[in-house]
Amino acid sequence: MVKLRSILHPYRMSVTIALMLMMTELTVELLHPLLMAKIIDEGILRGDMNAVLVWGSIMVGLSFLAFASGMINSFYAADVSQGFGFDLRKQIFVKIQSFTFEKLSKFPAASLITRMTNDITQLQNTLFMGLRIMLRAPLLVIGSVIMSFFVNSQLAIVFAVLIPLVVATLIWIMKRGSKLFHKVQSKLDHVNDVLRENLIGMRLIKAYVRRNYEINRFTEATNSLKDNTIKALRMIETSMPILLFIMNITILFILWLGQAQVVSGNVQVGEVVAIVNYGLRMTSALSMFSFIIMFLSRSRASASRILEVLDTQIDVKQDGDKFAISDGKVTFQDVTFAYPGTKETVLKGISFTANAGETIAIMGGTGSGKSSLFQLIPRLYEVKSGRIFIDDCPIDSVDVKFLRNQIGLVPQEAVLFSGEVKDNIAWGKNDASFEEIVYAAQAAQIHETIEKLPQKYQTKIGQKGVNLSGGQKQRLSVARALVRRPKILLLDDSTSALDVKTEKRLLDALRAYSCTTLIITQKTSTAQQADKILLLDEGVLVAEGRHEELLKKSPLYQKISQSQKKGEIVNVKAAN
């Protein structure tokens, strides 16, 4: 909670003003029963209209003061809650950007979205209502008990005995409610996750005619959310009528006791009316407690989920030397790697060197560790043992941001963002000129395609590039990496959707760039154009060399090459 309070620190002046204005409202409300007692005892019972007018005018004046205080309080409460929400949302977003893949896998995407939207909104609303209304309710109860003793201690003793029991019950309800609402938020995460998967996979759902299955899956998730929400609300709502019943019985008891005291002459009528008024105020405040407890229970659950993100430790050393890559030489020295939280070793004692300017093809079956190897170079994951060097400098001593700014990574799945074509390419380099964008597009063999689009480089791309083909998305991703003029270029099976001629032109164009290129591929036709081929099998580097060398000395490579040649023959026959 200290972190959340620190975010409120810049708004301490607005919080102070809001609290002062709220206390002004509360003071006026607590004074009204006393003034009413004065009107009854000094004015109505004595027939003194002047006393009625004087005390009545004071009540009206104080009411206007309370009204003005409430209006201004709302302004400051809104300012604090909105500013707090903005700062907290930004802080969480920045924290998520610093997560390693290991930490990111701890939180599903749908859960992070819920935490940054629903949970923060819950805290915003609670903060606003706390400064505006919620804090008044407990203070009104406490203040009413204290003021009752000033009026008549004999009648007020009833409240002094009852209220602590009521408060203890409310605390128990809030703790129980917090646990229930934490479960509700988890169910909301699941609903968002199902919805997200459905929207992303809509084409596949339609193609496989899985509409009814997805409807049932979503219905099951929403029913679970509904049942847990009902359970939480039922617990709170059923407890409050019991407390209000107890309070109403208490007021009736005070009226009976007060009537006896009035008859005996020990208490004035105005005092009984004032005590009853304070009892009614406490009852109205307690009637708000179901609303308050629901808000606090939800916000407590939301706060714990938000703090879970903020308190997540970043294991990777982010800072270090600002080492400038001059050549782009990459060396793996006995590197072993396993994904965090798993026992299976993905890479086992990998050692190789990619000299400056070379093109290295990495081949192997599914699960052989090709993509895992790639992710170690920009330090998306850390090695378990061994070391990786760039230009003979160990990468774990280099500033992470500085290192990644000199590497161009094209992932296996092309990721595009909503916006214009030129913006998607310039995403790789914020200050890229239009000439640099065009040059990168030409090298990536996508320039001619862009020129045929309706608005050329200003053409809008749909969400995730829905209006582009697989090959077009891959080439745009390559252009995005090339525009930053990287010293090391990593292509993770990024030419799989390209035909042989387009792929050859792309690889030829890459040689004009002064960078070391590592490319994961399944095609021997691509590997033949590389300076060296690395062949992985179940996390082990089983062979390395040029195409001709591996055909002679590697049975696994021979098998891959022969299977692809057979596939080409079959395709030719089919075409004929």
The more confidently predicted of residues 384 and 107 is: 384
Long-range contacts of 260-264 (CB under 8 A, 24+ apart): 261/152, 261/154, 261/155
Phi-psi region of 485 (alpha: psi -120 to 50; beta: other; left: phi over 0): left
| Pair of tokens at residue 250 | 């208490």
Radius of gyration of the chain (CA): 35
Model pLDDT for residues 168-197, shown as the tens digit of each residue: 777 777 677 777 777 787 787 788 778 877
Gap between the Cα atoms of 503 and 483, Å rounded = 18
Q: Which residues have CB under 8 Å from 237's CB, separation 6+? A: 290
Q: Which residues have CB under 8 Å from 485's CB, separation 6+? A: 429, 513, 515
Q: How many CB atoms lie within 10 A of CB 128?
A: 21
Q: Which amino acid is at 313?
A: Q
Q: Which residues have CB under 8 Å from 435's CB, separation 6+? A: none
Q: Which residues have CB under 8 Å from 251's CB, separation 6+? A: 276, 279, 280, 283
Q: Give the per-residue SS3 of 500-547.
A: HHHHHHHHHHHCCCCCEEEEECCCHHHHCCCCEEEEEECCEEEEEECH
CATH class of 320-398+488-576: alpha beta
Strand 488-492 vs strand 407-410: parallel, antiparallel, or unpaired? Answer: parallel
Res 576: pLDDT? 33
- Our CA dihedral for 560, 564, 570, 571, rounded to 10 degrees, sits at 160
Place of tokens 């029991």: 165
Q: Would you tell me which CATH number, out of the four given (1.20.1560.10, 2.60.40.10, 3.40.50.1010, 3.20.20.370), belongs to the domain 2-310?
A: 1.20.1560.10
State the DSSP H helix or E strand holding residue 471, giving kind and residue range, or none if neither: helix 470-482
Q: How many CB atoms lie within 10 A of CB 86?
A: 13
The more confidently predicted of residues 206 and 73 is: 73
Average pLDDT, the chain: 80
What are the start and end residues of each CATH 1.20.1560.10 domain in the chain?
Answer: 2-310
Q: How many CB atoms lie within 10 A of CB 571?
A: 10
DSSP H helices, 152-201, are 153-200
Q: Could you tell me the CA-to-CA distances from 125 to 78, 188, 292, 427, 516 in Å, in that order? A: 9, 18, 11, 36, 53
What are the start and end residues of each CATH 3.40.50.300 domain in the chain?
Answer: 320-398+488-576, 407-485
With beta carbons less than 8 A apart as the criterion, state whether 489 and 515 touch. yes
Band of the pLDDT at 571, cuts 50, 70, 90?
very low
Res 112: pLDDT? 82
- What global pTM score does this model have? 0.64
The more confidently predicted of residues 104 and 455 is: 455
Model pLDDT for residues 320-334, shown as the tens digit of each residue: 667 777 888 899 999
Res 575: pLDDT? 35
With beta carbons less than 8 A apart as the criterion, state whether 532 and 354 touch. yes
With beta carbons less than 8 A apart as the criterion, state whether 237 and 290 touch. yes
With beta carbons less than 8 A apart as the criterion, state whether 88 and 306 touch. yes
pLDDT exceeds cutoff 60 at 316? no
Mean pLDDT throughout 497-505? 77
Q: How many CB atoms lie within 10 A of CB 466?
A: 12
Q: Would you tell me which CATH number, out of the four given (2.60.40.1730, 3.40.390.30, 3.40.50.300, 3.40.1000.10), belongs to the domain 407-485?
A: 3.40.50.300
Mean pLDDT throughout 279-303? 74
Per-residue DSSP letter, 315: -
Q: Which amino acid is at 476?
A: L
Band of the pLDDT at 72, cuts 50, 70, 90?
very high
Q: Which amino acid is at 525?
A: S
Gap between the Cα atoms of 40 and 47, Å rounded = 9
| Pair of tokens at residue 377 | 């170079």
pLDDT exceeds cutoff 70 at 265? no
Q: How many CB atoms lie within 10 A of CB 565?
A: 11
pLDDT exceeds cutoff 70 at 573? no
Mean pLDDT throughout 1-28? 85
Model pLDDT for residues 346-384, shown as the tens digit of each residue: 899 889 998 888 889 998 888 888 888 988 888 888 888
